[in-house]
Structure formats: structure tokens, C-alpha cells
Structure 1
Amino acid sequence: MFKDKRILITGATGSWGHELVSQLLQEKPKEIRLFSRNESSQVAMMRQFSDKRLKFIIGDIKEREGLMQACQDVEYVFHLAALKHVPVCEEQPLEALKTNVLGTQNVIDAAIYNHVNKVVYISTDKAANPSNFYGLSKAMGERLIIHANTLNTDTKFVCVRGGNVLGTNGSVIHVFKNQIAEKGVVGITDLRMTRFFLTIEEAIGLLFKATYESIGGEIFVMKMPTCTILDLARVLIEDSGKEDVEIIELGKRPGEKIHEILFSEYESASTVHYDKHYFVILPSIEIDGLKEYYASYKPVEMENYNSGENLMNKDELRTLLEEGGFLS
């Protein structure tokens, strides 16, 4: 699918971008354009990969003209760029709106203008029944991406929604490891908290699958294992070998949920089982041929997809962390 193709990745210098580039290069593309506003991260990636097929572009998705130029002759766009940290988006909602919503519309406009084949938007579990501004802005981005399939264009737009990816920038894994090593104390906002988790390698593999198989207008929802944050902390403490590490409860931050969901009660009415890796949420708006294409797929019987159910035990969690290279 990607052989001899030109690909644009927005927000390309983050953890998702690193793994995406690594796996895309194996597909023998003609060119991968890495679009981000972080100069130092671009230089670091340039040195890390040292591949002539990579073209680094300093730019911000809030600036439409730069995106228009970056999209020229591109066949696939992976839209990763976003403000992602919940407290930052709560404190600076206008910046989150400009990047996550208006920036996404700029990506849509640039893709349509340049006749891109397909745009893949990377979303989050926090977009399902959002309780914070980050989730709200990503949900709005999803709606813009889905709606773009109703416009007069041959470009196809699809969303992929997942939970937490282990080891990404700002991941709780790194936070806990640093706290264990430096303070001997692990802070958890609420001891009842659960989350969806997946390794970055698995997440990018599933992202490719959705890219290959989507027809445009749907939201692919990754099926992901879940665990309690308390068990995650305990496994990391046990692995450290340190004794007398204390776990303290800090209290929930604004906008935080005890349990995340990957699709809501409202969305479950239009969600189908796709395969062992994915659910697919069909839009409420009419997109030619989409509902007919999925008519034979089995509707879900779940009220929602909740991180508080079917939790991994500590042994299963330890195995997941070992596979991701996070245990010694």
C-alpha cells in the first residue's frame, strides 16, 4: 500500500511518530514528510534514522498555508499532531481548540486541495463521552474528519481511537519509574483508577490495519487490555527491587475519570464487531455506501467499552510490560 508513495505525518516527532516512521520505512515508501514545530526533536530524529527518504518540515497545523505546501503530491496523511496533556488543555483551552480542532480542519482542507488518497486521524479514548477539554477537542476533531467524507472529494477520511500507549512521552510508566528511583514514593490520583494500555509496536500495527481496510467515514476502535493503575505501580515497584516504596493517593485532577471508555452508551447503538482487533463505530450522518458495507457485521451487545471491566491480573500485566521492554 505504501510502496513508492509519499506520506505526510503531522506531529511526527512524538513517540507515535517515531514508531510509525520506523515501521513505514520497511514498506519502501518514496518519501515520508515529517511535519512538526519541534526543531530539536526533528534534528534528533534526523540523526537517529539517517534516511534520505525522510524530509523534515518545520511547521504548525494552525498555519494553513504551510500544510498546503507540505501536502503537495502526498498520497497518505497520518494526522498525529495535537495538544495531548489533560491539565494543559484545561488551563489553556483556546490553544487546544486552535490546534486540535482548527488545526484538524486545516489538515482536511490541505488534503482535499492536494487530492490526497486517505487521511488517518489518531484519536483517543478521552473523545468518548468527554469529561475534559482535551477529550472534547479530540471529539470535535473526529466529527470534522468524519464529516469530510460527505464533501465533494475523492479523499477518504478515517479515525482510529485507542487508549494509553505504553512508554510514550509523558507516559505514566516513565513518571512512576522516576518516582520510584528518585523519591521512593509513587503518587496515584485515585487508587480505583483503571486505564486501557497497549504497546507502541502493537498500536502502530493496528493503525496500519485500519489504514488498509477502512473505506472512509468510520471510527476504528482498538480492542485493548485494561488494568488498574495501582497494579501497574505495584508491578513497577516489584521490578525495581526497592523496598519500602510508598504509594500515596493524590486526588483526581480536573477532568479525570476513574474509568475510561472507548465507545459510549450512545455510540454502542451504531457500533459493530469488526474482527478480533477492532470495533467499528458507524457515523450518525449519512455517508454513501458505508452502512451498506457494514450491514453484515454483528452489532455489539455492550452498553459501552469500559476500562473497569475484564482487568488484567498482575501476571498478565507483567507480561505486557516485559513485551514492551519496560521491566528489567
Structure 2
Amino acid sequence: MSLMTGASILITGGTGSFGKAFVRELLDNHDPRRVVILSRDELKQSDARRLYNDDPRLRWFIGDIRDRSRLDRAMHGVDYVVHAAALKQVDTAEYNPFEYVQTNVYGSQNVIDAAIDSGVKKVVALSTDKASSPINLYGATKLCADRMFVSGNSYAAAYETRFAVVRYGNVSGSRGSVVPLFRRLAEEGASIPITDKRMTRFWITLPQAVQFVLESFEIMTGGELYVPKIPSLRINDLAEAIAPGSPIHEIGIRPGEKLHEEMIAPDDSRRTVRLGDRYVVMPYVNGWGYEAPDEGIPVAEDFIYQSDSNDQWLSVDQLRTMTGADR
């Protein structure tokens, strides 16, 4: 039986790409007692209600994670929380830094405090590759959030609540994916814009991300940062998969963008173990009785998990299948 069966689950940012896929999986395969969707956009909630045919197990909360009192209300009686709400656009963050701090940092603190006070059992916060060795403000706010959720276990040590973090790279089919752009330009016969032909990225599908989060709930004890072992792609190969034969032109790396993605920094390798299909970055400090997994295999001290040095790569044919370009 799944941990989620018969449980009450809250998803912050539940009308985003991940949230909708996660809710669909819960309703179809886990039979939760109640699923609470907290988000700011009433139009997206209206669209989602139709998407799920007004499933009676769903509860809809218009609200913002900046509002602590709204979180307290939404978390009443909740067993498990997925924290997916965040401001995410790199360039927008540079122009609106205070807003990103308010949501990604202070909002995360509100989620932590509300979860502890509401008696939530487990919380998994979603992170991003940009939080590893961040070079932009968005990544810096997400690194703060990661550390807060790990250290939140110290605040919750005398309570039942435990926190963990899941970090992964680009998601095929998510709102920010370049796939729809490449597809539209190919249909128009236009040249495909590539930031840099050397660029590499980690790649994961939405169903894979959902399953990884569900598995993390099952195995977490509190304080872990989980990173899936996933393949990399070359941006040129992605363009060829989506728009075969289309001309390509370079537009240059955007401010705050990396040539290659990183999900585990070299300085974190001393706290990282390999555990099956994932890496586990263990906490810097431990005031709540965290114990490293017995079956975890320590990585090399100079280990770095970066998209250009990965040992798994997606071919053009595999990318065509994953993106639906072969249909």
C-alpha cells in the first residue's frame, strides 16, 4: 500500500506543471482521502477542476505561501506536503529580487513553520539545479530554501514533522520547456535559436519526477537532499529531435545562465552517497538524530554531478520518443 493511500496531501503551487501531474497520479493510483491544492491563480484552479472532473477528493485553496495564516488553514488535518510553489524565471528575478526573496525564502519559512504547527508528518520541497553553486538570484533564493528545509528538521526535532528536498534538472513537458518553442518554429520553417551549441542539460520527464518525489516520501527520515541519477542531453541534439534539418543560430548565453547544469557541487561530495537510482546529499548539521542510509555508497571526494560529465546521454532518437516528436 502506498504511503499516500487514505492520506490527506497538500500541494503548494498545485496548478503548475508538476502539481497537475502529481495530483493526476495521486487520484489515479493512490486513492488519497483528500488532496488540497493551494495556488494563487483562480483561472488555473478553474481549468484544473475541469481537468479532474471536479473529483470530490480535491479541495481548492486560493492563497499565497507569503500568507502564513492561509497556510495554517490549508494545512489543517494534512499528513503530507509537497512544496512546489516558487517564482522561477531567471531573468525576471534579476529585475524583481525582493519579490523572489518574499516568495522563495520567506514563503518557504512560512511553509516550514505552518507544517510543524499543524502536525504534518512529512514535507518534500522541490528544488532546482540552479540552487547548486548558484550564479543568479533565483538560484540563490532556492539554495536558501534548500538549506531552510533541511535545517527545518532542527526546529521540528521535538515534533513529528520531518523535511526533505528533491532537486532535479529540466523537465520535459513543463511550462518552461523549450520543446513547444522549437516545435512551433519548425512548423513555421524558421531557424531554431540555440544559446550555445556546447550547452548540455539534465533531462527528466514529468512522470519520472512525480515518481521520484513519491519514492522520496517513502524513504525519507528528514534532512536528505535527493538528486535523481538521470541522463544528459546536448542542446543541438534536442533541436535536431524536435526540428530535424532546421537551420540553427546561436543567440548567446543569457544572463544568469550556465553552459552546463550542476546538481551536486564538489564541496558537497563529502556529504554525498549513491543510493540506487539517486544520490543523497546529507545535512551539514544534525540536531534531530539523522542517520546516513546503511546501503549508501560514498562518492569520490572530488565528485561533481554536472551535465557535461554525466555517464548517461540521450540520443536524438530517444529524445524524439520522449518529446513525442516521432508521432
TM > 0.5 fold call: yes
Aligned partners of 1:24, 1:320: CA distance in 2, in Å? 27
Contact 1:115 1:154 in 2 (8 A): yes
1:269 counterpart SS class: helix
Q: How does 1:4-15 map to 2 (within 5 A)?
A: 4-15=6-17
Matching residue of 1:160: 166
Unaligned runs of 5+ in 1: none
1:287-308 alpha-carbon deviations (Å, 9 max, x no partner): 4332x33355211125200100
TM-score, scaled to structure 2: 0.94
For residue 111 of structure 1, what is the amino acid of its counterpart?
A
Aligned partners of 1:256, 1:21: CA distance in 2, in Å? 31
Matching residue of 1:80: 84
Shift of 1:89: 1.2
Which of 30, 35, 38 matches 1:35? 38
Matching residue of 1:93: 97
Across the aligned residues of Structure 1 and Structure 2, the Cα RMSD in angstroms comes to 1.5
2:35 counterpart SS class: strand
For residue 179 of structure 2, what is the amino acid of its counterpart?
I
Instruction: Tell me: CA distance 1:153–1:3, structure 2 relative to 1, closer, same or farther (3 Å).
Output: same
Matching residue of 2:304: 304
Shift of 1:325: 3.1
Shift of 1:250: 0.5
Contact 1:194 1:307 in 2 (8 A): yes
Q: How does 1:44-55 map to 2 (within 5 A)?
A: 44-50=47-53, 51-55=55-59
Instruction: Tell me: CA distance 1:324–1:205, structure 2 relative to 1, closer, same or farther (3 Å).
Output: farther
Matching residue of 1:269: 270
Unaligned runs of 5+ in 2: none
Shift of 1:173: 1.0
Greater Cα shift, 212-221 or 228-237 = 228-237
For residue 217 of structure 2, what is the amino acid of its counterpart?
T
1:293 and 2:292 matched? yes
Q: How does 1:1-328 map to 2 (within 5 A)?
A: 1-25=3-27, 26-50=29-53, 51-151=55-155, 152-182=158-188, 184-238=190-244, 245-275=246-276, 277-290=277-290, 292-294=291-293, 297-301=296-300, 303-310=303-310, 316-328=315-327
Instruction: Tell me: CA distance 1:180–1:97, structure 2 relative to 1, closer, same or farther (3 Å).
Output: same
Aligned partners of 2:205, 2:269: CA distance in 1, in Å? 26
1:45-72 alpha-carbon deviations (Å, 9 max, x no partner): 1001111111111111111111110000
For residue 201 of structure 1, what is the amino acid of its counterpart?
P
For residue 72 of structure 1, what is the amino acid of its counterpart?
H
Corresponding pairs, count = 320
For residue 256 of structure 1, what is the amino acid of its counterpart?
E
Contact 1:217 1:287 in 2 (8 A): no
Identical residues among aligned pairs (%): 39
2:174 counterpart SS class: coil
1:54-107 alpha-carbon deviations (Å, 9 max, x no partner): 111111111111111000000000000001111111221111111111111111
TM-score, scaled to structure 1: 0.94
Shift of 1:323: 3.8
